[in-house]
A and B are shown apart, each in its own frame.
Chain A
Amino acid sequence: MSENKEALRIEILKYLEKHSRVNLGELAALMGAEETEVANEMAEMEKEKIICGYHTLIDWDKTGVEMVTALIEVRVTPQRDRGFDRIAERIYNYPEVYAVYLISGSYDLLVTLEGKSLKEVSRFVSEKLSPIEGVLNTATHFILKKYKDHGTIMIPRKESERMLVTP
């Protein structure tokens, strides 16, 4: 891949990560590139699964929807030949599991779970997660308040205090 193309791709990705709803014409203008070129790169990156989706960051706390998020530390015994992948798969296939990461340090997997209530989450842990073969133990942490998520600070920003006109 040429250096220019690589640079354009990275600039597109960085921009999309924060502004996924930008329209193509505007994105092309911002990148200083032709619309067709940007559209082609995006299509290619979607095909290559570099772009995995266009999601929306929602502060559910501000809606009436009841929701709790939990971070669950999971210690497991890795399996011969399969390492952690097989156990991770058994966990991530549950739709209520939001994210699964393999982690360095004192435990192995970090599972993010979204549920309607504390009860629902703890039932998942005791009925689904803990019984999986190879899972040694778990520790569940409930999120009480999200200050910042996906690089975005959740509290509203202050008004700008700049003067209107300065030399």
Chain B
Amino acid sequence: MRNPLSKKIVDIQPSGIRKFFDVANEMKDAISLGVGEPDFDTPWRIRDEGIFSLEKGRTFYTSNAGLKELRKEICRYLERKIGVSYDPMKETLVTVGGSEAIDVGLRCMLDPGDEVLIPQPSYVSYLPCTVMADGVPVVVPLQYENDFKLTVEDLEKYTTPKTKILIMPFPNNPTGSIMTKEDLEPVAKFVKEHDLYVMSDEIYSELTYQTKHVSIASLPGMRERTLVINGFSKGFAMTGWRLGYCCGPAAIIEQMTKLHQFAIMCAPTTSQYAAVEGLKNCEDEVEEMRQSYNQRRRFLMHEFKRMGLECFEPFGAFYVFPSIKEFKMSSEEFATRLLQEEKVAVVPGTAFGECGEGFLRISYAYSLEDLKEALGRVERFINRLRENDGR
């Protein structure tokens, strides 16, 4: 019998820490700081709108690109938030989460051999999606010394004549790092000079602290070479609704809509109706969640400082990324032992790229009570490690 599988797909490496994830998810009595989704329920007015749409019998497909009303609200929202205006009819596509937009976007923009710059540590799907689109992933390791921001020096090292796309994963999962306008300006200049396109994954854009999120698309000359990807999962606490969107040049969106039509048909109708309410009326709820995350973020930074755990202060998403290099073991070993000995689940930095070695991703999408309990156990664990080290 012939091998039923595609070599291209089989060759894609499963996440190296799949095993760790499986063990952790089986440990029901563990306390977790390992989740990449909000702890808040979706705001009630959004859920209510979803329920109402079902009661009304709105259970049919929407147009491929998404409900017109939702696309209009998305464009109004982006205009308000990042100061870039898009045409809801030609430059906007509603997708099944930001994840679909990453996948479809790369498929639509890459020819075989085109290189994609992927700053890491970053979310796990950019690399495999590039491979599936026949592109060549080129990892750009971000530096702790730069607070894991992307610099032109980083880019210079990895850009070749074949480079076509730069992924911009900010605010960043797992580091919590953000890029301010000043940080983005030299990157934008570099992108224009080298005639690159940018896929800007801004799924955490609602969750920045101290400074407002700035999209690279809002910088001069960048709108026409940037695909902005965003969604409802993080800021609106709607992970399970599977709803995202992307906005960008009409030529790209047109091809993406075609692919989306063949692969997906349309994003879930109930989620689309609910999301309209989110964009129109949930500013207060989103702000309240942001404030709560911010308090927990400050609390964690305060506690790390007290414990003497090295960590740069992150200003985005809901993660902190402390260094565990002092303990002289790999991130996975640290995370595995912490799970076994103290029943606390955190994610090894290496889940997000090799350059995450020596770091842990700790999520603060948890109640303060959970955070306190978990931190107490982490402290006990590292004190034990330090004692055994003869210090």
Interface residues of A (CB under 8 A from B): 11, 14-15, 26, 29-32, 160, 162-167
Contacts and interface: CB of A to CB of B under 8 A. Distances in A.
Contacts of A31: 295, 298
B32 A165 contact: yes
Contacts, number: 57
A166 B34 contact: yes
Contacts of B147: none
A163 B123 CA distance: 17
A147 to B, nearest CB: 14
Contacts of A14: 291
Nearest to A166: B36
Interface stretch (B20-28, B263-271, B273-281): B20-28
11 contacts: A30-B295, A30-B368, A31-B298, A164-B25, A164-B34, A164-B35, A165-B21, A165-B24, A165-B34, A165-B345, A166-B21
Contacts of A30: 295-296, 298-299, 368
Nearest to B174: A167
B329 to A, nearest CB: 19
Contacts of B352: 167
A164 B39 CA distance: 12
Given A165-B25, A167-B351, A15 B295 contact: yes
Contact of A164 (B27, B123, B295, B299): B27
Nearest to A167: B124
B114 interface: no
Given A162-B37, A164-B24, 7 more contacts: A30-B296, A30-B299, A32-B302, A162-B35, A164-B30, A164-B345, A165-B35
Given A11-B291, A29-B302, A167 B36 contact: yes
Contacts of A166: 21, 34-37
Contacts of B85: none
B234 to A, nearest CB: 12
Nearest to A157: B41
9 shortest interchain CB distances as A-B pairs: A165-B34, A29-B302, A32-B298, A30-B295, A165-B24, A164-B32, A167-B124, A166-B36, A29-B299
A167 B295 contact: no
Interface residues of B, number: 30
A162 B28 CA distance: 11
B342 interface: no
Contacts of A29: 298-299, 302-303
A163 B34 CA distance: 9
B299 A160 contact: no
A26 B372 CA distance: 10
Contacts of A163: 25, 35
A8 to B, nearest CB: 12
Contacts of A26: 299
A165 B347 contact: yes
B240 to A, nearest CB: 9
Interface in B1-35: 15, 20-21, 24-25, 27-28, 30, 32, 34-35
Nearest to A14: B291
B24 A167 contact: no
Nearest to B210: A32
A28 B25 CA distance: 34
Contacts of B24: 164-165
A52 B78 CA distance: 42
Contacts of A164: 24-25, 27-28, 30, 32, 34-35, 345
A22 to B, nearest CB: 9
A139 to B, nearest CB: 31
Nearest to B372: A26
Interface string B345-359: 101000110000000
A136 B302 CA distance: 59
B3 to A, nearest CB: 29
Contacts of A162: 32, 35, 37, 39
Contacts of B298: 29-32
Nearest to A32: B298
Most chain-B CB neighbours within 10 Å: which of A14, A32, A165, A166? A165
Interface string B228-260: 000000000000000000000000000000000
Interface in B289-333: 291, 294-296, 298-299, 302-303
Nearest to A26: B299
A167 B37 contact: no
A166 B173 CA distance: 12
Interface string B164-205: 000000000100000000000000000000000000000000
Interface in B35-92: 35-37, 39
Contacts of B39: 160, 162
Interface centre among B28, B173, B299, B352 (most CB of A within 10 A): B299
